[in-house]
Amino acid sequence: MSVTGLQTEGLKYAKAIFDTVRRMSADTLGVSRQGYSELETDVLHYLQGLGRDIGLEVRADDAGNVWMTMPGRDRTLPAFVAGSHVDSVPQGGNYDGLAGVTAALTVAWWMHRHQVQLERDYTVLMMRCEESSYFGKAYVGSLGMMGRLTQSDLMLRHRTEDITLGQCISACGLDPSKLTAGTPIVDLKKIACFVELHIEQGPTLTSNDKVRVGVVTGIRGNVRHKNVVCHGETAHSGAVNKEFRHDAVMATAALLSRMDNHWQEWLDRGEDLVFTVGVIRTGATAAISVIPGEVSFTLDMRSLSADTCERFHQLLLEEAAALEKERGVRFDFDKPLYTAPGLVDQALSDRIYKAAEDNGIPCMRLPSGAGHDAAVIGAAGIPVGMIFIANQNGSHNPHEEMIMKDFMTGTDLLWQTVRQFD
């Protein structure tokens, strides 16, 4: 792969952004940038200053998202928009979200440095509060942009402080009632497309020696249960033989083992699916000498196909019902939570992939298992695409890493996509 001027000249500029924002948001471990906090506002002000330095027109919408625009020759055309979110999970990594903002801003810096004017406007979009960690609600900035927040969303309470999401939004000088009207607060007709560069957050790209950049095929939707409880019968561990037991742990283990086997069968026949039990607990009376009478756990099924998620969920319920009869237990499922898959625009994805091919950038197509603001924007009818870059040590943790060479390759692909758009 050839190394372009952007990859070499832009490296110092991009690294300075990452280093500065890391210092601004450093926590005991990793970084913490809460959505709609004073710190998130400070980070946005710093980035806006960089935008003004290179002549970008800067404005904020009523959700607090920031739009920084480099004017094109024909300002009647809808803009090419690129960016991501600036917040983080508590004590998380520095690149989740910020990589997309930095890449978009680095492309604008490159165009300013070389006096490039596009046919249409190029806009860097910096969104607020994408992470759900603090209020239990994801994509707040982008949903607010679309007018899709609800009054109940605004009443969500902070994970550790006595404050609501709505109060945090108000503290930023914004009117949260404008974000629940059901209609977008921005003119969607002025957006030609949205491209979000993001770290992959998984191991596919970083485990590949040759291909470090990906074009996303879609964002997996999910069916989730926050709490499933298996009710058995508590008893003495030494006094009850196997045939008389109603062991909640063994019944739960059997259910999960069966679903794990089904998962592999579905993968073998080509279905896109991931299945996770993130939390599992025995009851409050659990002890080494007690047959457990209660187990609670979570479930998370994700796929690019809503039909696949729904069918796998139905199979789960059928297996649970069978085990109830076999083992004399009862499974209680809370109300399932559904998130539809986020569809990327095929034509735009093909453009990104072709830009990689045309410029000698090794690239693969792969799905996104995590959710992103791009899904919200795409659901509003705007063509969206995503570029993934390799990162190390996963994400949503303080050990998250990213090789700058990989980042600059992904940023170059974003630039080539922008350059070839018209």
Annotated binding-site residue? 236: no
For residue 179, the 8-state DSSP code is G
pLDDT over 70 at 2, yes or no: no
DSSP strand pairing (290-291 vs 235-236): antiparallel
Annotated binding-site residue? 225: no
**Contact status, residue 205 vs residue 214, Cβ threshold 8 Å:** yes
Residues of each domain in the chain carrying CATH 3.40.630.10:
5-220+341-420
Residues of each domain in the chain carrying CATH 3.30.70.360:
221-339
**Contact status, residue 296 vs residue 286, Cβ threshold 8 Å:** no
pLDDT over 60 at 382, yes or no: yes
pTM: 0.86
Q: Which residue has the tokens 């499922």?
A: 333
Give tens-digit pLDDT for 4-26.
Answer: 789 999 999 999 999 999 999 99
Overall average pLDDT of the 71-90 stretch:
97
Give tens-digit pLDDT for 323-360.
Answer: 999 999 999 999 998 888 888 999 999 999 999 999 99
**Contact status, residue 222 vs residue 309, Cβ threshold 8 Å:** yes
Q: Which two tokens stand for residue 255?
A: 């259910």
| Burial classification of residue 89, based on how many CB atoms lie within 10 Å of its CB (0-12 exposed, 13-18 middle, 19 or more buried) | buried
Annotated binding-site residue? 85: yes
- What pLDDT does residue 218 have? 86
The pLDDT > 70 percentage for the chain reads 99
Give tens-digit pLDDT for 258-270.
Answer: 999 999 999 999 9
Three-class SS state of 230 = strand
CATH code of the domain made up of 5-220+341-420: 3.40.630.10
**Measured distance CA(369)–CA(274) in Å, rounded:** 8
Phi first, then psi: give them for residue 206, nearest 5 degrees: -70, -20
- What pLDDT does residue 394 have? 86
Q: Measured between alpha carbons, how far is residue 37 from residues 44, 49, 68, 129, 395 in Å? A: 11, 19, 21, 9, 22
Q: Which residue has the tokens 């457990």?
A: 292
DSSP secondary structure string, 356-401?
A: HHHTT--EEEEEE-S--HHHHHHHTT--EEEEEE--BS-SSSTT-B
Q: Which residue has the tokens 């060479």?
A: 405
Overall average pLDDT of the 42-55 stretch:
98
Q: Which two tokens stand for residue 295?
A: 């187990």
Q: For residue 125, what are the β-bridge partners?
A: 67, 83
**Measured distance CA(128)–CA(373) in Å, rounded:** 10
Q: Which two tokens stand for residue 355?
A: 């830009």
Phi first, then psi: give them for residue 149, nearest 5 degrees: -75, 160
For residue 61, the 8-state DSSP code is -
Three-class SS state of 2 = coil
What is the residue-averaged pLDDT of the chain? Answer: 95
Q: Which two tokens stand for residue 110?
A: 């490159």
What is the distance in angstroms between the CA of the first residue and the CA of the last residue of the chain? 24
**Measured distance CA(408)–CA(14) in Å, rounded:** 8
For residue 154, the 8-state DSSP code is H
State the CATH architecture for 221-339: 2-Layer Sandwich (3.30)
Overall average pLDDT of the 1-6 stretch:
69
Angle between helices 98-113 and 404-420 (to 10 degrees): 60
Long-range contacts, stretch 110-115, CB < 8 angstroms, 24+ apart: 110/6, 110/9, 110/10, 110/415, 111/70, 112/54, 112/55, 112/70, 113/9, 113/54
